[in-house]
Amino acid sequence: MGHRITTRTRASSIAGIIAVALIAVGLILPAFASRSLIQDLFFILTMLTLAQLWNLIAGFGGMVSVGQQAFVGIGAYAMFAGVILWGWDPVPAILLGGVAAFLLAIPMAFFAFRLAGAYFAIGTWVIAEVTRLVVAQWKTLGGGTGTSLPREATADIIGVETIARLFGLRDAAARDVLAYWLALALAVATLATIYALLRSRTGLALAAVRDNDNAARSVGVDAARVKWLVFLAAATMTGLVGALIYVQTARISPDAAFSVTNWTAYVIFIAVIGGIGRLEGPILGVLVFWGLQTAFADYGSWYLLALGLLAIATMLFAPRGLWGLIHDRTGIALFPVQRRLIGAKDG
């Protein structure tokens, strides 16, 4: 009698097919979508990626970081440095963002991992502040007031001309299409990587460390190594996203690039409202967030006040978020990571 262990369910197989279809639609979308839809989708995809990455370290890894803006900011600034100081094309310069975020994550992890439990959160915040203050001293990149990408650099980004000819768009709109495609690629790659990671041995180790550090170590999990690995990987990806966002924005300042509200508070709300510790959570969360943003962003601080209260209410009454509620009622998991034992007869 053989047995096998699987994480696959019927819902997940269907979800997989739908996901492939959605990616295909996403790829050809610029052929007929309006420019504003492409811009909205860019926003949704980048926020989704940031939320998935935060969810990975906090929801799956138990490391509640309030310093993700450090990686967005340093990634964006590294890209700017590549373009302005070394004359790189903005698109390959995005890779510099990943490298810079990785390099920053090493000291950040070194310091923050020394802080027990909940103080980890404020520790990451301190490092993000230090990074912001140091970057604000970087006079060639505009110091505290910031700077813009030079017109020559944005004018001839690789591929923009081809896209412009292909879809008959103007250069500015073609740049949005390019940024959108890159955002789509990053979002899919991030989701796929996280899903693969969670289904691997490392993912199991990560869940064990989150649930009980000591117990995990007693069965031979190298807790420190798993945490470092996940933290560095998430930071690197966050840096790439940050650089991409600022390729599209083309204007940077320390306060915007290192904004706690934009790159950490929103991201946390997306994950909390959608459901922490589930891959489906941020997907649902980002759609809700985008809906709220479109409908109420004009209300400024009232909107943020309501968003804060909504996050508190979610934690009080539905701590596993909207997707948690759906899962409890229906048992559906689109991206299951739970291992199940299947007997050979019916398997």
- Footprint of other proteins (CB under 8 A): 58-59, 62, 64, 66, 111, 114-119, 121-123, 125-127, 129-130, 133-134, 137, 260-261, 265, 268-269, 272, 276, 301-302, 304-305, 307-312, 315-316, 319
In the complex with other proteins, which residue's Cβ is closer, 106 or 134? 134
Closest separation between CB of residue 215 and other proteins, Å? Answer: 13
| Least distance in angstroms from the C-beta of 219 to other proteins | 19
CB nearer to other proteins: pick between 180 and 231? 231
Contact 93, 150 (CB under 8 A): no
Q: Where are the alpha helices (DSSP H) in the chain?
A: 10-28, 35-54, 69-84, 90-112, 119-135, 151-155, 160-167, 171-199, 201-211, 213-218, 223-249, 254-257, 260, 266-274, 280-296, 301-317, 321-330
Residues paired with 341 in a beta bridge: 5
Q: Which is nearer to other proteins, 261 or 338 (CB)?
A: 261
Nearer to other proteins, 27 or 309 (CB): 309
Rounded least distance, CB 66 to other proteins, Å = 7
Q: Which is nearer to other proteins, 162 or 261 (CB)?
A: 261
What minimum distance in Å lies between the beta carbon of 58 and other proteins?
A: 7
Computed from CA positions of residues 130, 131, 132, 134, in that sequence, does the dihedral angle turn out positive or negative? positive
Output the smallest distance, CB 206 to other proteins, in A.
Answer: 15
Ramachandran angles phi, psi of 263, nearest 5°: -105, -10
Specify the residue, 121 or 250, whose C-beta has the smaller distance to other proteins. Answer: 121
Closer to other proteins by CB, 37 or 133: give it. 133
In the complex with other proteins, the residue whose CB is nearer, 98 or 277, is 277
Kindly state the smallest distance separating residue 318's Cβ from other proteins, in Å.
Answer: 11
Measure the CA–CA gap between 75 and 242, rounded to whole angstroms: 5
d(CA 316, CA 319) in angstroms, rounded, equals: 6
Q: How far is the CB of 295 from other proteins (least distance, A)?
A: 17
Q: Would you call 234 exposed, middle or buried from its count of C-beta atoms within 10 A (0-12, 13-18, 19+)? A: buried
Do 288 and 274 meet the contact criterion of CB atoms below 8 Å apart?
yes
How open is the CA angle 35-38-44, to the nearest 5 degrees?
Answer: 145
Residue 339 sits at φ, ψ, to 5 deg, of -85, 135
Nearer to other proteins, 218 or 301 (CB): 301
Residue 137 C-beta: closest distance to other proteins, Å: 7
Residue 222 CB, shortest distance to other proteins, in Å, is 20
**CA 157 – CA 171 distance, rounded (Å):** 10
Query: What tokens does 190 get?
Result: 């991030």
CA angle 39, 136, 270 (to 5 degrees): 40
Query: How many angstroms separate the CA atoms of 52 and 84, rounded?
Result: 31
Give residue for tokens 């589930």: 278
- Is residue 240 a contact partner of residue 186, using CB atoms and an 8 Å limit? yes
